[in-house]
Structure 1
Amino acid sequence: MAGGIVELRSIDVVPDEERHGTAFSQFTLWLGANLQITAVVTGALAVVFGGDVVWSIVGLLLGNLLGGAVMALHSAQGPKLGLPQMIQSRAQFGVRGAVVPLLLVVLMYVGFFASGSVLAGQAVGELTHTDDTTGIVVFAVVTAVTAAVGYKVIHALGRVASVICALAFVYLGIRLLDRVDVGALFGDARFDLPMFLLAMSLSASWQLAFGPYVADYSRYLPRTTSARATFWWTLAGSALGSQWSMTFGVLVAATAGEKFLASQVGYVVALGGTGLVASFFYFVIALGKLTINVLNTYGGFMSMVTSVSGFRGQRVLSRAGRAAYIGLIMVAGTAVALLGKDSFLSSFKDFLLFLLTFFTPWSAINLVDYYLISKERYDIPALSDPNGRYGAWRWDALGVYAAGLLAQLPFLATSFYTGPFVAPLGGADVSWIVGLAVPALLYWLVARRNTAHLPEPTAHEPAPGPRPAHQER
């Protein structure tokens, strides 16, 4: 990518001479990625499913802070290693064993691409005076092209979206508060533990779902970038943006009721105004969704390459290969969006909680290994060698991951399955807390007894690595 706009690297190490930027770039990227309509809908779900305004907002805030802190710890790994997030999962699960969580990660990207395309498609359809289906397809193509250009344009998009969407949400907030009785909304506080924990789970799952790709967008930062600065700027941008959007969603759901449920995009735009003002807010909705959907597409292609390359021994990717992987994500996400566009709201909550179940054990294992076991040291070449120190399959880590999944089942509450411990807890879903704590403890106990895979203190310094042939200066 050196000197150009189009990114040429994929899963290979970013050498020091190509590193650039500051930790503040993480703030603008994640602020822009979270000031968008799907985050609004996520916050609204806390009220739609029975919560009150006050405790829904508090629960969402706690979930955003706790989940955001875990997500930001992953972000801090990017400058240190110069690698995409899921490549370094091979150190925990093995070069080929990492495909187990990777398959679920790809499913996540397709799901978020689809859910985002449903709402963005409505906005694009209005802007182009066509219909939702056309809007979804047009939006998908623009997303794929932007993701193909890569890292630099993604961060530029985040900077633009963070400013435009922040101004738009300030205006929408003023319009909303001018229409409602704020005292009545906040005066009717009634604490309900299951609803409070649902709000926490919704926002925590929103944040934790960024974990598998957050380091993809910090890996070009100079190696000397402070891990603390990367952590705090990432957390600040993501938690502020999501809480801002979700609080707006809570207030909209509490005051608009069926009008909002019937058309989430239509109601928000109507709140802003009519005519040219309405067109501007359709654009804002499309811009906000473009930012996050590009991240999902880019992360999805990285995860697919990581999965395949673990078996093929591939370390670099051609432009044609990059375009093909991105095209697959686009086609799959668009197909799901078109099939599910009429039942979006009813399925989105369970989708979020489903993701939470599968990603909390992965996140716990990854963070314990990086910060407590390996102490930020990895043998970079061995991450591509199934016969190297990390092996093809690390069955101890995969066993811990499976145990983490199983440990959550008694505490899980969804429309298709409810665990036996949910009722004694008053209907509260605390599975994500169990999914973080149990595998973290188990992996720490297992990994500290088997340290043969740990490199020497100098092995974490990645070699510059071969430059792709098409990238020679």
Structure 2
Amino acid sequence: MDVQDLEKRAVTPSSTPVESSSFDEVLKPKSAIWRKILGWGVEENGIVPVPLEKRTDKRVFNLFTIWFTALLCLLPIPTGMLGTLSFGLSLRDSSLTIIFFTLLTTIPPAYMGTLGPKTGMRQMIQARYAFGLFGIGIILLLNAATVTGFSVIAAVVGGQTLAAVSDSTISINVGIIITCIIALVVSFSGYKVLHIYERYSWIPVFVAIVILVGCGAKNLTHQTVPEAPATAQSVLTFASLIAGFMIPFGGIVSDFGIYIDPSASRLKVFTYIYTGMVIPTIPLLILGAAIGGAVPNVPEWDAANLANSVGGVVTAMLSPAGGFGKFVAVILALSVIGNIAISMYSIALNIQMFLPILTRAPRAAFSIITTVVLIPVSIEAAHNFFTSLENFLGVIGYWSASFVAIMIVEFVYIRKGDYATYDQGGIEDENGLYYR
């Protein structure tokens, strides 16, 4: 499809809203039970684009809080630990790599997030316009696998921490199940509840992280000194893992802005998403690097790492605080819920996209399916955590970088930055991009 075709198909969202009756027919509840669930505030819409008249949310700052909270958790810590513990970098070299490449690789997903409010379309719906009906199938599989992978990492870290806090009274497997079930409740409820949860749940987590650093500060100074200077290979390998941690958010970022008022400044939307991702990630990655550099030199931490990996080290760091430290560790274990919840939400949308007929099923039902898959995969990944993490981040960066590059070039060059060329009317057209 060339530019002229796009211009002919273009429909200005403000002037041509999609027929609401058609949307209602697609999403019509089929049972009294489902109608009752909707009455509790569960989001009804799935992958169907949100028409202009329903994009009325003025709280653009929610785009900051949802990403800030999702990343203010234990998830970045094991990734940071890889720099010092696996690649032999010093804390200084790891920190410089983290700062530069996080600031750089967060730009593409934050830019892609600006399309959510303007188009009312989920991220993978936008991608269908670029990749077509058949090409998008491959992208959906890769994106679902990527987001599931992040959920697995988060669930394992949460489960490890709960197991360590309980002195193994609760197994890692049970800890994973507890974490995933709680995340399911938040994800099941949908867009509105997700934003409410992420707006406030960061507060106790932030306090817990400050306490964690305070309790472990003395031992964090016991850094391993590398025998040789950092090599370009080790720095670039670690940098690619940082990119693999940040860039994949480009596959889901618009999912959480489709109800935002499209009149919101694009710069404001970009800034909120960018800072929401960067502000928690950089300090926690650096904290992870500091922990990784200290683990071999602190016997208690080393033993805890062997027993319960990251969760064990976190619990060992808080041991000077006694029973209160265990309480703080539980808060940190549950901090991953916000991250898993947004991942479950986006995975459910991916499942719906595989077949148009699945739009007739409630979005929330697919969150349950996602949880059923996530739990056994997480339990298996926990057996060899750091190897699984390193391999995962090393692979996903390749496809994710290609995906965001294609999406941005397609929007900027082919569509000339015109949001109206994402024609919502195509969803009703038998020759349209959505069902074609």
Shorter-chain TM-score tier: 0.7 to 0.9
CA-based RMSD of the aligned residues comes to: 2.6
- After superposition, residues 296-445 of structure 1 pair within 5 angstroms as 296-309=343-356, 312=357, 316-319=359-362, 322-374=363-415, 375=417, 376=419, 377-382=421-426, 385=429, 387-388=431-432, 392=436
- After superposition, residues 12-411 of structure 1 pair within 5 angstroms as 12-15=48-51, 16-48=53-85, 49-125=87-163, 129-181=169-221, 190-257=229-296, 258-259=302-303, 261-262=305-306, 263-273=309-319, 274-309=321-356, 312=357, 316-319=359-362, 322-374=363-415, 375=417, 376=419, 377-382=421-426, 385=429, 387-388=431-432, 392=436
CA distance in 1, matches of 2:55, 2:231: 52
Q: Which amino acid aligns with 1:382?
A: G
Q: Does 1:9 align with 2:45?
A: yes
Label 1:256 to 1:82 Cα distance change in 2 as closer, same or farther (>3 A).
Answer: same
Q: What's the offset of the Cα at 1:71?
A: 1.0
Contact 2:90 2:226 in 1 (8 A): no
CA distance in 2, matches of 1:386, 1:261: 56
CA distance in 2, matches of 1:52, 1:202: 16
CA distance in 2, matches of 1:12, 1:115: 30
Label 1:95 to 1:250 Cα distance change in 2 as closer, same or farther (>3 A).
Answer: same
Q: Secondary structure at the match of 2:47?
A: coil
CA distance in 1, matches of 2:83, 2:428: 43
CA distance in 1, matches of 2:260, 2:176: 34
Query: Highest relative contact order (Cα 8 Å, sep 6+), 1 or 2?
Result: 2
Which structure 2 segments of 5+ residues have no match?
A: 1-36, 297-301
Q: What's the offset of the Cα at 1:59?
A: 0.8
Q: Deviations over 1:146-168 (max 9, x none)?
A: 11101122112222232222222
Label 1:340 to 1:17 Cα distance change in 2 as closer, same or farther (>3 A).
Answer: closer
Q: Deviations over 1:21-53 (max 9, x none)?
A: 422212221111112222100011011222111
Q: Deviations over 1:116-151 (max 9, x none)?
A: 211112234466752222222222222222111011
Label 1:259 to 1:198 Cα distance change in 2 as closer, same or farther (>3 A).
Answer: farther
Label 1:342 to 1:386 Cα distance change in 2 as closer, same or farther (>3 A).
Answer: farther
Which structure 1 segments of 5+ residues have no match?
A: 393-473
For residue 4 of structure 2, what is the aligned residue in structure 1?
none
For residue 469 of structure 1, what is the aligned residue in structure 2?
none
Q: % of aligned pairs identical?
A: 25
Label 1:306 to 1:176 Cα distance change in 2 as closer, same or farther (>3 A).
Answer: same
Q: What's the offset of the Cα at 1:305?
A: 0.7
Q: Secondary structure at the match of 2:263?
A: coil
Contact 1:61 1:203 in 2 (8 A): no
Q: What's the offset of the Cα at 1:280?
A: 2.4
CA distance in 2, matches of 1:92, 1:265: 41
Contact 1:35 1:244 in 2 (8 A): no
Q: Which amino acid aligns with 1:269?
A: T
Q: Secondary structure at the match of 2:170?
A: coil
CA distance in 1, matches of 2:295, 2:428: 53
Q: What's the offset of the Cα at 1:70?
A: 0.8
CA distance in 1, matches of 2:81, 2:256: 28
Contact 1:52 1:188 in 2 (8 A): no
CA distance in 2, matches of 1:253, 1:384: 53
CA distance in 2, matches of 1:346, 1:120: 17
Contact 1:54 1:189 in 2 (8 A): no
For residue 444 of structure 1, what is the aligned residue in structure 2?
none
Q: Which amino acid aligns with 1:164?
A: P
Q: What's the offset of the Cα at 1:72?
A: 0.2
Contact 1:99 1:307 in 2 (8 A): yes
Q: Aligned residues, how many?
A: 385
CA distance in 2, matches of 1:126, 1:256: 16
Label 1:171 to 1:186 Cα distance change in 2 as closer, same or farther (>3 A).
Answer: farther
Contact 1:55 1:190 in 2 (8 A): no
